[in-house]
Amino acid sequence: MQSTLKFLSTLKKNNNREWFEANKEKYLASKAETEVLLDKLIAGLVKFDKRISKDLTGKDYIFRIYKDVRFSKDKTPYKTNMCASINPGGRKTVIAGYYIHIEPNNCFLAGGLYGPEPDLLKAVRQEIDYNGAKFVKILKSKPFSNYYKGLDDWDVLKTVPKGFDKDNKYLEFLKHKHFIVSTKIKDKDLENPAKLLGAFKAMYPFLEYLRHATEK
């Protein structure tokens, strides 16, 4: 993945259409290299997560590099990362799944539910309210806790969510708007799919909890 990281690093310094078009072949090569890594991850994921399709490939999960700048102050046209969401049914589904972010010196793995619709958010909160003990057990379990230090807390309610009591023993989780866990990885870890799969496998019980909650 060194050529991909090098391309992304150079793109960050030359984030304009003229440079990108002149280096389109390097982009396509980097995209292809990333898709090869994704194919290896998918081959490993299907061994323990039967919800992941064997019929989809890295091309079905990778995100576009082109940015939507209509509502952004940053008008640079391209993302400076390669990323993919490996979910049951494809990257656009709202089922809890796996995420990989490839960016020089800022690579990470993540997974869960990002920005769920109100009905799905309510379903997860209700599941935690009814069966929070299992949720806590997953967060504290090994090997999960070796990789993930609880839910990411960058977007949390300041008040008690509607329909729940302020004394609810699981209130710290109920306040979350997203149910995401993540772990940093080193650039060199991209050369070791087995290591990445270890982190994803540890995440699997967490994802299954969320899937069960949103399937009801």
In SS3 terms, 38-79 reads as HHHHHHHHCCCCCCCCCCCCHHHHECCCECCCCCCCCCCCEC
Phi/psi zone of residue 183: left (φ > 0), alpha (ψ -120 to 50 degrees), beta?
A: beta
Contact in structure between 212 and 163 (CB atoms under 8 Å)? no
Domain, as residue range, for 113: 2-215
Strand partners, 152: none
Domain CATH number, residue 82? 3.30.930
Whether residue 143 has a cis bond before it, omega within 30° of 0:
yes
Number of domains the chain contains: 1
Distance CA 2, CA 93 (A): 30
The pLDDT value recorded for residue 85 is 96
From first to last of its 216 residues, the chain has per-residue pLDDT tens of: 999 999 999 999 999 999 999 999 999 999 999 999 999 999 999 999 999 999 999 999 999 999 987 877 888 999 999 999 999 987 777 899 999 999 999 999 999 999 999 999 999 999 999 999 999 999 999 999 999 999 999 899 999 999 999 999 999 999 999 999 999 999 999 999 999 999 999 999 999 999 999 996
Q: What is the residue whose two structure tokens read 């690579």?
A: 107
